[in-house]
Structure 1
Amino acid sequence: MVATSEELGPRAAAKRDQILSGARRVFLRDGFAAASTDVIAAEAKVSKRTLYVYYPSKEELFADVMRKLTIENPQTRALETIEEMSPGSKEELRRDLLELARKIVATMMQPDYLALLRTTIADTHRFPQLGGIYRATVPERAMRSFAVLIEKSRERGVVGPDVDGDTAARMFVGPMLTYAVLDGLLAEGPPHPPAREKIEDIVDLYMKAIT
């Protein structure tokens, strides 16, 4: 398990971020399969020995690049947003879900995220573990936290008594994923994020289904 910025000292955290920035550029340019640790170390301006101190494998490095770009992105804080939610009413739940939906869309529509997702899809047939790394790093962790949110909301009577946390998590993320695929991965030119009103419509339909 790679240490977090909080677990590292300031100098070590800065060095780790330097490595991540270099690796991100290499993965975006060359993909996962073609990216060598020699090239990554050179791009990050660190020795190969230093690279291995922080990241013993290329897979761990790729996972951390994805993590920093998505659920630990300081601009969206999507995972923290889920874990901080504690709605006590339907109105509060709708407010929280709107904020979360906007952050998920903003994360998924990042050009760098879409490029790394393409890399994951393209290279998984040669590196089967890559798909597992992506699932464990991004969607599974976020969906577990979302399922806990739904279960807490169910205990408080905010959502229906028969709502399953995992199913509810998949229902919520699914519509945003269609935008990422159809209007991001498969779009001609830059990504086309949904309008604010579309996100509100998705959340309102979702609220009707679970409350």
Structure 2
Amino acid sequence: MPTPSQPDPHISDAGAKRSRRKEARPGELLEAALDLFVEKGYAATRVDEVAARAGVSKGTLFLYFPSKEELFKAVVRENIAGRFTEWNSELETMTGSTSDVLRYCYKVWWERIGCTKAAGITKLMFSEAQNFPEIVEFYQQEVIFPGQALIRRILQRGIDRGEFRPVPMDGATYVVLVPMIFLMLWQNSMGACGPQVMGLTPQNYMDCQLDSILHGLCVRPDEMPAPSASSSTASSTPPR
């Protein structure tokens, strides 16, 4: 039996477990909410269902998220919006060609969002946006505008480095984004209902789209500026 000066180890363990459980609850609630929002949509998802799936009471859920709208916003920030700071910082350190940067962008987006449950949020926004203008405004500010800004930075990088042709930036941004959006919608609709149709797999689809996009963006040989006379002479003169 423990002495008065020694805490009961069973009581200490129980307290530690309760503490760890409390710390884990926000993450468990967000995971349960993501599952249900993607499965049932925003309108049909009830907070008591989210709480039950996470193994807590509805009152506990409201301690962390005061409404379904705030819960949805937290799900979007956790799974999508929170990525943009990381991606913008990563872009600052890239040294390869902008074509390689764009290919890497597609690859990372697919691994971290496109092939995850979070991709279902895109379908949810398309299907229910008209009925919930408040979450549309939030989604625009947290996801759409930052995504557009990131793509614009990549395109401008290519133009500034002489790799991409000057293009209308607004239209070109959507040229890059639309294939990603289509793939998420496909995966969470017809693509989820059976085998791949006509050999459409995420990888060969993205490869085909990137080849087409880069073929249109990259400077063509006949568009490259001719070397000046001085530079031509200098380059043909052997060093002494």
Q: Could you tell me which of 155, 177, 182 is aligned with 2:181?
A: 177
Normalised TM-score (structure 1): 0.69
Deviation at 1:198, TM superposition (A): 4.1
**Distance change in 2, residues 1:51/1:133 (3 Å):** same
**What's 1:143 paired with?**
148
2:84·2:146 contact (CA, 8 Å) conserved in 1?
A: no
Contact 1:109 1:184 in 2 (8 A): no
Alignment-derived partner of residue 171 in structure 2: 167
For residue 28 of structure 1, report the CA deviation from its aligned partner.
3.6
Which residue pairs with 1:186 in the alignment? 190
Cα distance in 1 between the residues matched to 2:38 and 2:190? 17
The structure with the larger Rg is 2
2-structure distance, mates of 1:149, 1:30: 35
Helix, strand or coil at the partner of 1:32: coil
Q: CA RMSD in A?
A: 3.4
Match of 1:39 in 2: 49
How far apart in 2 are the matches of 1:30 and 1:196? 28
Matched, 1:203 2:207: no
Give the Cα–Cα distance (whole angstroms) in 2 for the partners of residues 83 and 31 of structure 1: 33
Aligned counterpart in structure 1 of residue 34 of structure 2, from 24, 28, 31: 24
Q: TM-score, normalised by structure 2?
A: 0.62
Amino acid in the other structure paired with 2:61: L
Give the secondary-structure state (helix, strand or coil) at the position aligned to 1:159.
coil
In the alignment, the residues of structure 1 paired with residue 68 and residue 185 of structure 2 have an alpha-carbon distance, to the nearest angstrom, of: 26
Measured in 2, the distance between the counterparts of 1:57 and 1:119 equals: 18
Code of the residue aligned with 1:187 in structure 2: it is G
How far is 1:172 from its partner?
A: 0.8
Give % identity. 23
For 2:86, the equivalent position in structure 1 comes to 80
Amino acid of the residue matched to residue 151 of structure 1?
A: Q
**Whole-angstrom distance in 1 between the partners of 2:202 and 2:46:** 40
Give the SS at the match of 2:43.
helix
CA contact (8 A) 1:120 1:131 kept: yes
Instruction: Find out whether 1:120 has 2:125 as its counterpart.
Output: yes
Which of 49-58 and 140-149 deviates more?
49-58
- Answer yes or no: is the 8 Å Cα contact 1:32–1:119 preserved in 2: yes
- Note the residue ranges of structure 2 that are not aligned, 5 or more in a row: 1-19, 219-240
Residue 17 (structure 1) shift: 0.9
* Alpha carbons 1:151, 1:164 under 8 Å: kept: no
